[in-house]
Structure formats: C-alpha cells, structure tokens
Amino acid sequence: MNVHNFAYKDKEITVTIDGKVCHSTFGKTILEIARENGIYIPTMCYLTKVLPIGSCRMCMVNVDGVDGFILSCQEKATDGAVIHTQNNALYKERQNIMKLYGVNHPLECGVCDKSGECDLQNKTTEFDIKEQNFTARDQSRPVENWGHVSYDPSLCIMCEKCVRVSTEITGDEALQVKFGGYSSSIVNVKKEKNYASLGEAAAVCPVGALVSTNFKYTSNAWELDKIPSSCPHCGGGCQMYYEVKRDKIYRVTNNYEFTSMCGAARFGFDYANQGVAKDEKAFQAAVKAFENTGSILFSSTISNEEAYILQRLKENYGYKLISHEARAYQKFMHAYSLVSGKNLYNGTLKALSQSRGIIVLGSKINDDAPIVKYHINMASKWHRARVAYLHPIEDTEIQNIVTQFIKYEAGSEEGVVALLAEALLQETELPESIRSFLDDLDIGNLSAECNVGEEELFALKQSLSKKSGFSLIVGADLYAHPRATHIAKIIALLEKYAGFNVLCIPPAGNAMGISLICELDDKIEGATVGYNVLADFTLSALGEGDLDMPAMNQQEGTLTTFDKRVVPMHVALPYGGYILNDIANALGLKATYTIDYTKELPQNKGFKCVEFDNLPDTFDLVGNENRGYVLQPISVKTDEIFEEVSEIEEFDGAIVYCCNRAEQFSPFTEKCDLPNSEAVLWGSQQFALVTKLLEGDHKAFTID
C-alpha cells in the first residue's frame, strides 16, 4: 500500500533477486517485488498496510554497483537491478541487530502472551543468537493499563508499528514515541479515552509489549485453535480468526499484515447462545407457529443462507417477510439502480483509501462503520484527501481527518443531496431532463431550509476541483428518510455522471445480503414469528425467545459485505439446539445442512453457484484478498425521472437524532452504574440545557 509515482505506475521493469528474474512495475520497492515472487527478506518493523517505517534495518540488501547496504522496504527498484538478499555480511549485520534488540528485552518467554508467535523469538532462533554480548542497566518500567489494551514498556523494541497503525489506519492518533535512548517508550496521549481501536495497534506488535488486557495470562498461543471466519457485527464482514480452547473463545485475531478490524470485531465476541439442548416440545410449537403465521419478522443479523431459507418459505407459504432496516436499504438501492443502471453501487474500500476527495453524508461513520472510517483515514494520511463531513452532529472523534464540516438540519437530507448534486454537476454535460431538474431547484430556499450556506457548498466544490479520485459515503440516516427513494436517485447521479466512487453503507449486520436475497414486505399481517426480535413467537440467538437459535459465531454460512464480497463464516463454538434449517425441513424444504443453500443463492442478483466448502478464505503473498467471491453487478433498466424536492418538515423542541454509542459491545454500566435492563440517554451539555435535563434524571416517554 505504499504511495507510488502514479505517472509511471504502469511502466514494466525487470530486476534479478538472488538469481531469479522478477518482472514488476516501476514504483514498487525491492521488498514488495521480492514478496511478490516468494523471496524471503527478514523484517521486524515492516508492515504491508502502512508506509515503510525503516526503524529495524533487518530488510537490508546488497545491490550490484551500489556501496553498502540498502533498505529494501524503502528503496524503489530500478530496471535491470541485480539484488542480493542473503550473504555472510548481511547475515552478520542482521545478527548484530538481533543482539541489540535483546539488550532491553528480558527473556520472559515462559510467561509472555506472545510466546509461540513472537517475531523476536523467531528471529533470535533464525539468526542463532545463543548469547548476549551487550548489556544495559535495568530500569523500572511498570506495566500500563490502557483499558482494552495493556502496555509493558520493558518488552517494547520500539519498532513503531503500533504508532503507525494508530496514525495511518485507525486514525485515533492515540500513540506516540517518547524518545529517550534506552528509556524510549510508547506513550498513550489519550489515556482518558478507552479506545478499543488500540486493539489494532496491539495486533501488529511483534513482541509482548502490547496485549489484550483480558487475554493476558489466560492461555498460551499454541494451545488455541484458530478458526477462520468473518465478523458479523456490521456490514464489513472483516476477516477474523476465533481462537478457541475447550469450547471457549479466548480472543479474536486477524491477518494483521494486510487487514484491520474494529474494536467491536476484536473484543465483542462473547455472545454465543450456550448450554442449549434440543427441546422437542418447543420445536413442535415453533413448527406450528410457522404453519399458522402470516408474517416473519427478523433482524439483519442472519446469514445469507438463513435469508434464503426464509425466502423459500415465503414462496411456499405466502408469508410476509419483515426486516425493517434491510427493507429500507432494499428500497433505497432499487431507486439508486434506476439511475445508475446497476443493482449495486460502484464503490470499493480500496478505491476509497486511494481517494483525493471524500464526502461523508448521513452517517456517524466513526461508530456506524469503523472500517470505512479507517479507509477514509488512509486516504487522508497517504493522499492528503479533502474530507467533507455532512451531518447534523459534529463528531469530535474524526476532527483530525475532516477538512470541512457542514452541519445541516435533521430531516433536510433530500435538500442537502439536491444542493450537492447541483453544485458538483454544474459543469457536467447531462441529459436535458436531469439538467432541467437541477436548474429548477430553488437554491436559495433550499439553502435556508437545510441551513447549508451556498458559500459552504462553493468551498466544498473548490476543495475538490483540483483533485482527482472522488468518493461519496452515504449511510443509514438516509435510508429511513420519508423521501429516501428520491434521495437515492439524486445520489446515483454523482456515480453515473460525476464518476464518484460511491459506497451506500448497509444499515446493520447482513442487510445487503438480505436485501438481495429476500422479497421483503413493509407491513406485518396476522400472527407473527420473530427471529431475534420481538414477535408473537420468537426464535432467539440470545436465549430469550420461545425457541433458542445459534448465534453467528455458532454457525456456518456466508455474509455479504459492503465491499460487495460474499465471505464465509465458520463454527467457533458448539450449539446443541435446533436451527432454522430444522424448522424449514419440517415445513417441506430438504437440506441436510444450512450451507447446502450456499450454491443456490440467487444468481440473478449477482451471487455465484459455488459450494460453501469451495469458498477460499486466504490472501496472496502481497495481501490481495481471495476470500469468498465478489458479487457480479446486474444491469437494470433505468428510469431517470425526478420529482420536486419536498418541503422540509419542521420539528419542535429538542431532537434525539443519534442513539448509537461508540463501542456498542460495552455495557452502559461501565460509566453509569445502571442495570443492563435500564435504558440511558447520552447527550451534550447543549442538549441538556435545551431539554432542561440534569445528569441522573429519570424520565418516562411515549412513542406516537
């Protein structure tokens, strides 16, 4: 992911590494080309997903015609270069580096959580370090507890990986280097905040300096079975491993060299529905409930295969399928496709990370989709991307990457989108009907109603005018809007005519997969069966329904990510009860396993006929993803008919706009000493003044 000279990025070059002729492209480093060709060069500080750090010098090589050693992680390869990665001089130099690493790193491998997967341990063996020639006076370096992560400065080798990840990937910028010779250490400059994103920094630590606080001293790494899977918390479907021993998940890790995970994925894994046995009476009651129901109400936290089972049952029994968030997203994307001409948006996370200009609209992105926020941060740090954040509430957690905050009135999203389209498409050649729609907009009135100044839009346009490579991120605030379908059509104009890389972030869980697989309905009819939600008869993975169901870490299946990739999940923990497929079989469907339906997912929506066991779950040598498969976009007949922008609804009094809390896997009781069952409202001091609320007040309310 290094930043290259894009003017020559397609120029082919040939280099010879250890006698092997390697073909590549101009701008890549020697280390990158070596890895592409399976040639090993040792490193300690190098991390593929960030810019070269250059602190360890282990990656040094010799190049014919060049005196001394060359750092292969930073040096761009030149055409015709002859490179040597292994010889006696290099070996001795690397051996001395490893001896220096051991000066301040105590040999505590027997009690260190990193033992068995420690780069320092492995390299010490690789370079035959049997004795220590250097010493330094011991210093008092107490372990620091930073919440989710603990730091032991006595084990730190100052590779700076954690600092780079905190800066370039997660964007929390919590970690910095405190220089002081042998007293140097990593400091947390934001100790007052318990950043779960520091788990990403701990993941890349090559030694035991940064570790998960809850995992410390619980298990040796080699005792744990690594089960590959995909995170079900949001639409990211991020690559992950459940690390399990004796039917217990001890931690969640990932292929940190290439991928990242948010705090919820890394720490929010303790939700399995355990201790469940098959209850025949409850099962028969469930089957009877399905036979007599008119509607099935379900959440977005289900697999593609479970969604397909529900669709098959709908076709056989005429059920109404109700999943409110997925339905809102489905309607939005249908309207979007009428303009774009494809059933899927065009955007990808990779293109987002390479963007020079980014607009975020209708999403508290730091909480709604942290992985998307990470890629916005990458664009900011690597390409100096201009980032415009449009939302009714300013988010202090992303102030460090936002270059322009535009605050609009809650509910005015249709007007805001229309203003954006008019501003960004002014010089674009458009069909007459679309140009007429934009020209007829009352810009002054819309600007006043939305509380978005025309000068703000002009500044936004100017900030993007000298850039190339734009991305637009839209989120869940738009999907539930009364005018969501019209908003979708206007946004699609920016993909089709302005070339924006657009990502329409699904509102929750597997909402994208459900919206593609199921024919969803808007209204509930008759008695209702609920899956993980409240209904007359509920199937629950939380152990609180009429019939237990497995949690997402207890089942096999696939998810659809907002990168439009179908990725596999695997069973991490056993489940002893009945599953949805058992009920479906009792109702006439025939499948031995739920994953038998993987190959039957609808190809007319972009899925492929692939057996579950044939889905890959790997990355290549340079980090290109080969998990699952990418959905194929399906052409859709277009209908570019636009309506007048409706008047903006006025709200009286204070508005509770966003109720989601960062780190949603953490109980509210952490800070307020309230029982889990009691709902709490978090708000700003300004909100408290408007509503005349005091901290600790108890209020009752009704919903019309």
Asked if 418 and 435 count as a contact pair (C-beta separation under 8 A), the reply is no
Q: Cβ neighbours of residue 471 under 8 Å, at least 6 residues apart?
A: 347, 351, 352, 355, 357, 358, 359, 379, 500, 501, 502, 503
pLDDT in tens, 156-180: 999 999 999 999 999 999 999 998 8
Supply the Cα-derived Rg of the chain in whole angstroms.
27
**What average pLDDT score do residues 335-352 get?**
96
pLDDT in tens, 319-342: 999 999 999 999 999 999 999 999
The answer on pLDDT for 106 being more than 80 is no
Q: What is the pLDDT of residue 1?
A: 36
Q: What is the pLDDT of residue 694?
A: 84
Q: For residue 262, which of 589, 665, 537, 620 has the smallest C-alpha distance? A: 665
The span from the CA of 305 to the CA of 283, in Å, is 20
Helix 413-424 with 443-450: angle, nearest 10 deg: 130
Helix H or strand E encompassing 24: strand 20-25
Q: Average model confidence (pLDDT) for the chain?
A: 90
Number of Cβ within a 10 Å radius of residue 665: 16
537-540 sheet: strands from edge to edge: 320-322, 295-298, 528-531, 537-540, 547-548
Structure tokens at 507: 């509102």
pLDDT in tens, 372-419: 999 999 999 999 999 999 999 888 889 999 999 999 999 999 999 999
Structural domains of the chain, ranges and CATH numbers in brackets: 6-86 (3.10.20.740), 134-267 (3.30.70.20), 329-504 (3.40.228.10)
The span from the CA of 202 to the CA of 209, in Å, is 8
The span from the CA of 42 to the CA of 104, in Å, is 21
Q: For residue 583, which of 612, 559, 535, 547 has the smallest C-alpha distance? A: 547
Beta bridge partners of 320: 295
The answer on pLDDT for 5 being more than 60 is no
Res. 674 pLDDT band, cuts 50 70 90: very low
The span from the CA of 362 to the CA of 392, in Å, is 9
pLDDT in tens, 472-489: 999 999 999 999 999 999
The answer on pLDDT for 195 being more than 50 is yes
Structure tokens at 524: 């509930």
- Per-residue DSSP letters for 374-417? HHHHHHHHHH--EEEEE-SS--GGGTTT-SEEE---TT-HHHHH
Q: Identity (one letter) of the amino acid at 163? A: V
